[in-house]
Amino acid sequence: MNLVVDIGNTSVKMAVFQKNSLLDKRIFSLSDFFKNFRKIKDQFPEIKDCMLSSVVNTISEEKKILQQSTNLIELTPALSLPFKNKYATPSTLGKDRIALVAAAVAKFPQKNTLVVDAGTCVTFDFKNKKEEYLGGAISPGLEMRFKALHKFTANLPLLKPGENLQLIGTSTEGSINSGVVNGLLLEIEGVMASYATEYKDLTIILTGGDTQFLSMRLKNGIFANSNFLLEGLNHILEFNKTQ
């Protein structure tokens, strides 16, 4: 049984897998790490192996308890991956992007696959049918776009995505929502269309925190999967067990 731990800037995701099946998932703040780890270990005492991915450097105590309780593997640029990484600067490739490509390999083997991760940033990551990761793109996410309009202007308010989205904004709030949300939707659709033109039989995955909000508004055929990153980390863990 596997434990996958993803420590981000704002929250921790912890998931339990039996082989490739997700059994449990929880999201919490880093300050609640030890409490949640004890609960999940009590609930699943069969946990043996652990994959840790973290963008936070000051987690020595958290890492220590994982090492004491599991066979810990930490995601680093030197770790063996289930795909050929053709990124020009592999040491700078984000751990989240590595995990998403690994999930694409596991879920869609030998298929051209574009993964769109809509979170703090929107990332586009592409692997071809030869299981080669070629790269992608990084763009500001929804929340970042709203914050930028507020921070870098004198009078524009800070908003969140609105449900009543209009093409023609009839107020300042409506105009901001139209510009930010429609702009991002058209950007994503444009990128997907460009990839689909160049790579036939393209599979597209949408994941990340804004998946639900965006998936209802995107016109192109996509697979929405909010657990894709965790599944990718688990696949890397399984892959390294056999190395």
Binding-site residues for substrate sit at: 87, 94-97, 172
Q: Per the annotation, where are the binding residues? A: 6-13, 87, 94-97, 117, 120, 172
Could you give the strand order of the β-sheet that contains 223-224, starting from the edge strand earlier in sequence? Answer: 84-85, 132-140, 121-127, 113-118, 203-207, 223-224
Q: Per the annotation, where are the binding residues for ATP? A: 6-13, 120
Task: Specify whether 210 is catalytic.
Answer: no
The catalytic position among 24, 42, 96, 210 is: 96
Q: Per the annotation, where are the binding residues for K(+)? A: 117
| Catalytic residue ranges | 96
